[in-house]
Amino acid sequence: MRMEKERSFLIEYGKKLVEQGLTKGTGGNLSMFDRESGLMAITPSGIDFFQIKPEDIVLMDLDGHVVEGDRTPSSEWEMHLLEYKNRQDLDAVIHAHTVWAAVMACLRWPLPAAHYMIAVAGKDVRCAEYASYGTHELAVHALQGMADRKAVFLANHGILTGGASIQEAFNVLVQVEYCCEVYLKAKEVGEPVILPDEEMARMEQKFKTYGQKK
């Protein structure tokens, strides 16, 4: 069985989505990309995250062909694949229906830099144009909306995040969701003060040296 480590990570982080209240039911999907083999491992369509087994994970090539697995891949497989084709900095992608990001997506609002933690995704987070789920159009809109960023809202739908690792993609998801909640609650009281681009650029640089280094 190829990509065993990636399969384990996808199962682990799929459960985390549910355990941390970041998605409901079978909503959402996760993937990881192995650049050496050119294969993407992605969660199957419509299976409870706590029921997914390693053999249920589907492997696909960059042309969108299933090369290993008997399950139907996530309906959003092309949205993941386009990121890997066009983004050399992303080797993991997560799509989820988090509540506060979904609120932003339904309002079709971008998320400005009201909190410095948005810098994990970029200086802000855009909202991509609407398209039906599972379509080529949605995949293209998501790619465009996430250009130079690690997160994008999918209009009237949810959020897509990416990272060099599944851990980073998950952290971006968690932090952006937190920033969405803070921003929307702040707007109930007044108008949030937005940090300037210069400060956000400084934050992006600081995050590169944050945490423990090998």
% of the chain exceeding 90 in pLDDT = 93
Residue 24, helix vs strand vs coil:
coil
Q: Is there a domain that residue 137 lies in?
A: yes
Q: Is there a domain that residue 182 lies in?
A: yes
Per-residue pLDDT of 4-29, as tens digits, reads 999 999 999 999 999 999 998 888 99
Per-residue pLDDT of 135-182, as tens digits, reads 999 999 999 999 999 999 999 999 999 999 999 999 999 999 999 999
| 57 CB-contact burial (10 Å; exposed 0-12 / middle 13-18 / buried 19+) | buried
Predicted local confidence at residue 213, as pLDDT = 63
Per-residue pLDDT of 31-55, as tens digits, reads 999 999 999 999 999 999 999 999 9
Which residues are known catalytic residues?
76
Q: Is there a domain that residue 212 lies in?
A: no
pLDDT range class, residue 1, cuts 50, 70, 90: confident
Q: Is there a domain that residue 15 lies in?
A: yes
Q: What's the whole-model pTM score?
A: 0.95
Q: Is there a domain that residue 213 lies in?
A: no
Q: Is there a domain that residue 178 lies in?
A: yes
| 31, 69, 196 from 169: Cα distances, Å | 10, 24, 25
Per-residue pLDDT of 76-108, as tens digits, reads 999 999 999 999 999 999 999 999 999 999 999
Predicted local confidence at residue 209, as pLDDT = 74
Q: Are 207 and 125 in contact (CB under 8 A)?
A: no
pLDDT score of 214 more than 70: no
Range of the domain at 160: 4-207
Q: Is there a domain that residue 138 lies in?
A: yes
198: domain CATH number is: 3.40.225.10
Q: Are β-strands 29-34 and 39-42 bridged in parallel, bridged antiparallel, or unpaired?
A: antiparallel
pLDDT score of 208 more than 90: no
Predicted local confidence at residue 78, as pLDDT = 98
Q: Which two tokens stand for residue 112?
A: 């400005």
Q: Count up the domains in the chain and report the number.
A: 1
Q: Is there a domain that residue 149 lies in?
A: yes
